[in-house]
Amino acid sequence: MAGRLSKTDVVSIDDLAIDEIERVFELAEGFAGALERGEHLSVADGLIMATLFYEPSTRTRLSFESAMHRLGGAVISSADMKSSSAAKGESLADTARIVSGYADLVVIRHPHDGAARVAAEYSLCPVLNAGDGSREHPTQTLCDLFILRRKKGKLKGLTVALCGDLKFGRTVHSLIYALARFGANIVAVPTSGMDVPEYVLERLAAERNYSFATVTMDELKSLAGGLDALYLTPSGPHQMALFTRDVPLEKIPAAEPPSTLDAFYVTRLQKERLANTDTASQAYVRFDARALRTHRTHEAVVMHPLPRTDELAYELDTDPRAVYFEQAAVGVPVRMALIAWLVEQTKASRERASSVTEKIRFKAEPSPRCANSNCITRFEGAHLRPRFRLARTMDRAALPLRCEYCERELRVEFVGHARSHRYYRYDENLYGYVRSWIDEGSLAVFETVKQAEENGYEPYRRGPQREVMDSAEVATAITSLAKQIVDDLPDLTNVSIVGVVSRGAMLALRLRDAIHAIAALTLPCGAIDVYSGSDIVQPLDGTTEFGVEDRNIVIVDDVINSGWTVQRAMTALWRLGRPSGVKLAVLIDRGHRALPIRPNYVGKRIPTSRTERVQVRLATNGKHKQQDRVMIYSVVEPMKEDQPG
Ligand code: CP
């Protein structure tokens, strides 16, 4: 059944064209007046809006719900997803599909980057993004632009200083894209370590040829000509660069170089998104009335998407230039306008064509996972395969794939051709070939050589191979490993084995049996897949859970090449708990490795050079039985003039 509203999703602010945003503003002005006059409206009569909020909200959810009620529509709401079936593990895709059967419009907020795009793909009715992870918050931007234009009479040529957490602030990212399109100037004033992310800058540069200046708060103070007497530097070079006509023009997109600041857009530190590795500044911006005292800033308005924490002084609240409460209040007429615009779209039978170009669907296995640990594709399960497109960048030294969901770049080091089952270290000379492999659906990408080989790919060129161990020698090496472990670890009852998928996991089971043959004890045994994007250890012994806490863990792998795989397995283990000790057992120690990881237990030492590869082939119980064998061969890297044909 066709929906009551045409399938027009607003996942990004860029889903709305400039003239569409202008139309929303026109409608919003009308609704603001109608609200003041207390008019009864019926624009959304018979329509139901569902609000799915996987994260807390005051303004966005309540103003959306108020907007729908004011338009004569109805609302169903999951304000706390802990009381929905999401708490039982229902995927976002299923939730979106189901709820879109109960409503005509879905508004979603979610902690993961790209979640709104997933909801839009699976929902039968339009989806409006109310904030997804640190990516975007387009309807907040509509409110921001609306209030800015109301106060300044225009958007083109304005200069807006964005202050605070510009890394995780999703409202900032949507606002940047929009200001760039409206021809406004941006001065980024990030708190230390909270700069605008690369993927935002690259999108601006690639799609709009737009860039902006970044300064520290102290620099801004001096640039603005005396925001704070302490930091005043009357005619410093930065001041020339930012506030006079000597501005480097390529940095300033608008026709008029700025001489004053028109708005400060202050944001709170997004504490909920900080990872352990993020350097949240001790000295976060604290914005007060002093910032508005100079002749360059005294006309500026102060905006904030709210909620505020300590970054915005309460003393500003009574200053007429503080517009943040009005900015929140217009959330109702602006969101009414957006809903009414959707109704207009429907009446005019306007459907959106899919806007995505150069989409890569990986027919070849394995399909890569997104590098962003907060990307929705890392949480949704196997039904949602990461999707990438080639990023528009001049730098092709590493293959730049951009995630369709969260927009982060994945820089690929190894590529494979699915039909020939050859892999290559990527360099820019391969770009043309990779484009054709994408077209024919035969591109595979790998994080490591080991991953390529585990998937049955061979290097593009290699020297002759020779066998260095046969199946009897492999068996002897496994027995030797078992003996070393039994001799070394005094309390075997506290030992568990974790094999690295895939050959390490096969060896782990054999090692467990060999230890049982010596010590008459069956150790718990699990497998970890470092490429899967999940940290779980899958029990291999029929149990349901694999314990790590206070256990002595023996990680098992076939060969250490760079050491990267083992390092990732160790990191994953430490995320699961605190083992009392971690040891490493490898069937083959080839001596060479990039990371300083030394195995505790070694089956056999086979010294090799950097250009040689050791490949372990293990017998399986499958159809194509093969003998255990360990092979060695030299890798010949493709020369520039010797690319695949
Ligand atoms: N500005 C904003 O998104 O506020 P809420 O988190 O309260 O919705």
Q: For 274-292, what is each residue's pLDDT tens digit?
A: 876 555 556 788 888 888 8
- Using the mean position of ligand 1's atoms as its centre, give its distance from the Cα of residue 381 in Å: 28
Strand-pairing partners, residue 528, are 500, 537
Which pLDDT belongs to residue 278?
59
pLDDT value at residue 181: 95
CB-based contact 587:604 (threshold 8 Å): yes
pLDDT-above-70 percentage for the chain = 86
What does the pLDDT look like over 128-150, one tens digit per residue?
A: 999 999 999 999 999 999 999 99
Atom of ligand 1 nearest to the CA of 131: 3
Which of the four pLDDT bands, split at 50, 70 and 90, describes residue 151? very high
The mean predicted confidence, pLDDT, of the chain is 85
Q: How confident is the model at residue 236 (pLDDT cuts 50, 70, 90)?
A: very low
Length of the chain equals: 645
- 230: pLDDT strictly greater than 70: no
The pLDDT tens digits of the residues spanning 379-391 come to: 998 788 888 888 7
Task: Look at residue 615 in the predicted model and tell me its pLDDT.
Answer: 85
Residue 113 region, left (φ>0) first, then alpha (ψ -120 to 50), else beta?
beta
- Which atom, in ligand 1's list, is nearest to the CA of 61? 8
Q: Which of 51, 53, 60 to mutate to test the pocket of ligand 1 (most atoms within 8 A of CB)?
A: 60
Structure tokens at 379: 């949480």
DSSP H or E stretch at residue 117 = helix 115-122
pLDDT tens per residue across span 155-199: 999 999 999 999 999 999 999 999 999 999 999 999 988 999 999
Query: pLDDT by residue (tens digit) across 566-577?
Result: 888 888 888 888
Residues 358-377, mean pLDDT to the nearest whole number: 76
Higher pLDDT, 369 or 20: 20
Q: Which atom of ligand 1 is nearest to the CA of 305?
A: 1
Query: What is the C-alpha separation between 44 and 35, in angstroms, rounded?
Result: 15
Give Cβ neighbours of residue 189 (< 8 Å, ≥ 6 apart). Answer: 161, 162, 163, 164, 214, 215, 216, 217, 220, 285
Residue of 54, 59, 108, 271 to test ligand 1 pocket, by largest number of atoms within 8 Å of CB: 59
- Strands 399-403 and 409-412, sheet pairing: antiparallel
pLDDT at residue 530, as a whole number: 80
Among 272-276, 293-297, 524-528, the range of highest mean pLDDT: 524-528
- Distance between Cα 130 and ligand 1 center (Å): 9
Is the predicted pLDDT of residue 398 greater than 90, yes or no? no
Which tops the pLDDT comparison, 361 or 290? 290
| Closest C-alpha to ligand 1, atom 4 | 59
The mean per-residue pLDDT over the stretch 351-373 comes to 65
The more confident residue out of 644 and 120 is 120
Q: How many angstroms does the Cα of residue 488 sit away from the middle of ligand 1?
A: 57
Q: In degrees, to the nearest 5, what angle opens at C-alpha 203 toward C-alphas 393 and 114?
A: 115
Torsion 34-42-333-329 (CA) sign: positive
Q: Of all residues in the chain, what percent carry a pLDDT higher than 90? A: 53
List all residues 6 or more positions away from 338 whose beta carbon is below 8 Å from its beta carbon: 10, 24, 67, 128, 139, 142
Comparing 257 with 92, the larger pLDDT belongs to 92
In this prediction, residue 2 has a pLDDT band, given cuts at 50, 70 and 90, of low
Over residues 20-31, mean pLDDT: 98
For ligand 1, atom 3: residue with the closest CA:
60
Q: Residue 99's pLDDT band (boundaries 50, 70, 90)?
A: very high
Please name the residues in contact with 560: beta carbons below 8 A apart, sequence gap of 6 or more.
566, 586, 589, 590, 593, 597, 599
Give residue 227's pLDDT band: very low, low, confident or very high (50, 70, 90). Answer: very low
Q: Is the pLDDT of residue 245 over 50?
A: no
pLDDT value of residue 232: 24
If one compares 338 and 272, the residue with the highest pLDDT of the two is 338
- pLDDT above 50 for 358: no
Which atom from ligand 1 is nearest to the alpha carbon of 58?
A: 7
- Give 353's pLDDT tier (boundaries 50, 70, 90): low
Angle at 532 between CA 529 and CA 535, to 5 degrees: 65
In this structure, the residues whose C-beta lies within 6 A of any atom of ligand 1 are: 57-60, 131, 140, 305-307
Q: Which residue has the higher pLDDT, 559 or 175?
A: 175
Q: State the alpha helices, DSSP H only, in 463-563.
A: 471-488, 503-519
Q: In ligand 1, which atom is closest to the CA atom of 137?
A: 3
Three-point CA angle 257, 262, 267, nearest 5°: 120
pLDDT tens sequence across 405-439: 999 988 888 899 888 888 888 877 787 788 888 88
- The three-state secondary structure class of 203 is helix
**Which residue, among 8, 531, 99, 31, has the nearest Cα to 330 in the 3D structure?**
31
- Say what the pLDDT of residue 233 is: 26
Type and span of the H or E element at 590: none
Average pLDDT over residues 211-222: 81
